[in-house]
Amino acid sequence: MKLKLTPELSYIIGLWRKRQSFEGLGVKGSPELIEIFSKEVLNQGITTPDKLVSEEKRIYFYHTAYRKFFGDIEKEQLERFKYLNEYAANYLAGLFDAVGDISPDGVVSLIKLGKQDELLLLRLGFHLRKRDGRFIVEKPVIFLAFIKNYVKLFKNHKVFDMLEKLKKK
């Protein structure tokens, strides 16, 4: 089976990278995160509902080809997502949904980033500052504008409404 990277798969891989379950190919986390992952893998035809195993705070399925493919993309992330395009936007949106946060005062941050993640964001023009174990995005408006059409967990956050108002001005 020859698998091809798509923007939608890029989102799933970004989400999976930082929230991997120990079993199979899946994620662990909040019920909302689990729901998003399950909807995405079903919509993309990666698995069927009867093959999804859901436990208290994780959901997963077994698929050797996709597991290897996701691992290969993870290793090649600097090469695969080096351009400001739909693939990179989806991947970063998945990563942001997995480990990102927007504080009440509008500070955009990510946790659990490795050196490759930092380098990827830097290459794409998104500078970070490390503070209290979190990576703060220095120009959050530009970053959020880049991923806004692809985030799922944060899509109803009020900051995206403010971005739309700024865009119209």
Q: Where are the domains of the chain?
A: 7-77, 98-168
Closest CA to 101 of 112, 110, 92: 110
| pLDDT tens track for 79-104 | 999 999 999 999 999 999 999 999 99
pTM of the model: 0.95
- C-alpha to C-alpha distance for 19 and 23, rounded to whole angstroms: 12
**Distance (Å, whole) CA 156 – CA 169:** 21
The amino acid occupying position 100 is G
Q: pLDDT tens for residues 147-161?
A: 999 999 999 999 988
Note whether 98 and 109 are within 8 A (CB). no
The arithmetic mean of pLDDT across residues 65-71, rounded, is 96
- What pLDDT score does 169 carry? 65
The arrangement of strands across the sheet holding 58-61 comes to 25-28, 58-61, 53-55
pLDDT in tens, 112-132: 999 999 999 999 999 999 999
